[in-house]
């Protein structure tokens, strides 16, 4: 318990310092806690310390922790790869889906949401590292993808999300983060109807500072708060 609260203090300080250093307003950078493999009880400690936003990678984990977390006043985002056959479940638990990466998924989400008379906030996942192993829209297809989402009126496009290249050398990550910002700027420059602003969800435990320097509005932090996850239980997409 002490650890989580201490670590949260360290992470908030890192965010604050990076904002100061790079001339960003700290109100423009939210902390999302990436809580895959973290128990609901441990997540509750962070929420007790004032956190309001978590992200899960698996629908099963959202479901398993729902009994505890649905009673709390927090936002739950889905940040993992979303299979089409999990759409019905995920919309029961998530307030936002950050991994919208294909039209078929948009279609399924829209159909289910229409039936429920609900809307859903979404981020479009962009593959900024051009790795086959990563999901996401190619940066140069982002504008056409967003235009193709127009019929799906239940989906409210809030931003772009990326994972980027995972490497201990932070400068290898930077071009991915920059590419997400440039992609955002190109989309906004295109003047698509209804798209007046887009948040950037990028940056994780090891690259919080660079992500803020490159314009992140939401850093997704797991291990720096909850400690290292058990190897083999990782889900990186
Ligand atoms: C696990 C995860 C994170 C957080 O990673 P850490 O290195 O533990 O901070 C961020 N984004 C996604 C999509 C993740 O799966």
pLDDT for residue 236 is more than 50: no
Ligand 1 centroid from CA 235, angstroms: 9
Q: Is the CB of 31 under 6 A from ligand 1?
A: no
Q: Is the CB of 205 under 6 A from ligand 1?
A: yes
pLDDT for residue 67 is more than 70: yes
Q: Is the CB of 108 under 6 A from ligand 1?
A: no
Measure CA 139 to chain center.
17
pLDDT for residue 237 is more than 60: no
pLDDT category of residue 228 using cuts at 50, 70 and 90: confident
Q: Is the CB of 14 under 6 A from ligand 1?
A: no
Ligand 1 atom having least distance to the Cα of 98 = 13
- If one compares 168 and 65, the residue with the highest pLDDT of the two is 65
Q: Return the residue whose CA atom lies nearest to atom 2 of ligand 1.
A: 34
Ligand 1 centroid from CA 32, angstroms: 10
Q: Is the CB of 77 under 6 A from ligand 1?
A: no
pLDDT category of residue 130 using cuts at 50, 70 and 90: confident
| Phi, psi angles (nearest 5°) of residue 44 | -60, -30
pLDDT for residue 235 is more than 60: no
pLDDT category of residue 234 using cuts at 50, 70 and 90: low
pLDDT for residue 212 is more than 50: yes
Q: Is the CB of 220 under 6 A from ligand 1?
A: yes
Model pTM score? 0.95
Ligand 1 centroid from CA 34, angstroms: 6
Predicted local distance difference test score (pLDDT) of residue 1 = 60
Domains of the chain: 2-226 (3.20.20.10)
Which of 220, 227, 231 is the pocket-test mutation for ligand 1 (most atoms within 8 Å of CB)?
Answer: 220
Q: Answer whether 39's CB lies under 8 Å from 229's CB.
A: no
Ligand 1 centroid from CA 220, angstroms: 6
Q: Is the CB of 7 under 6 A from ligand 1?
A: no
> Within a 13 Å sphere around the CA of 12, how many CA atoms are in the beta-carbon half?
11
Ligand 1 atom having least distance to the Cα of 236 = 15
Q: Answer whether 47's CB lies under 8 Å from 32's CB.
A: no
pLDDT for residue 26 is more than 80: yes
- 64/92 Cα distance (integer angstroms): 12
How do residues 88-115 score in pLDDT, each as one tens digit? Answer: 999 999 999 999 999 999 999 999 999 9
């Amino acid at each position: 318990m002490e650890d989580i609260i201490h670590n949260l203090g360290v992470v908030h300080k890192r965010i604050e310092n990076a904002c100061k250093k790079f001339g960003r307003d700290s109100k423009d950078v939210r902390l999302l806690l990436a809580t895959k493999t973290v128990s609901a009880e441990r997540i509750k400690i962070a929420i007790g310390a004032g956190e309001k936003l978590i992200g899960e990678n698996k629908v099963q984990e959202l479901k398993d922790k729902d009994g505890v977390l649905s009673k709390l006043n927090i936002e739950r985002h889905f940040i993992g790869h979303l299979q089409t056959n999990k759409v019905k479940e995920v919309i029961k638990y998530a307030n936002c889906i950050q991994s919208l990466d294909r039209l078929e998924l948009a279609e399924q989400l829209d159909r289910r949401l229409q039936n429920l008379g609900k809307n859903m906030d979404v981020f479009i996942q962009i593959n900024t590292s051009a790795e086959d192993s990563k999901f996401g829209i190619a940066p140069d297809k982002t504008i056409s993808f967003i235009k193709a989402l127009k019929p799906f009126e239940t989906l409210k496009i809030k931003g772009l999300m990326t994972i980027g290249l995972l490497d201990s050398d932070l400068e290898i990550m930077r071009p991915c983060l920059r590419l997400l910002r440039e992609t955002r700027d190109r989309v906004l420059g295109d003047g698509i109807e209804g798209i007046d602003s887009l948040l950037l969800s990028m940056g994780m435990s090891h690259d919080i500072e660079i992500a803020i320097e490159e314009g992140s509005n939401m850093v997704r932090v797991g291990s720096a708060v909850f400690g290292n996850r058990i190897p083999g239980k990782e889900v990186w997409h």
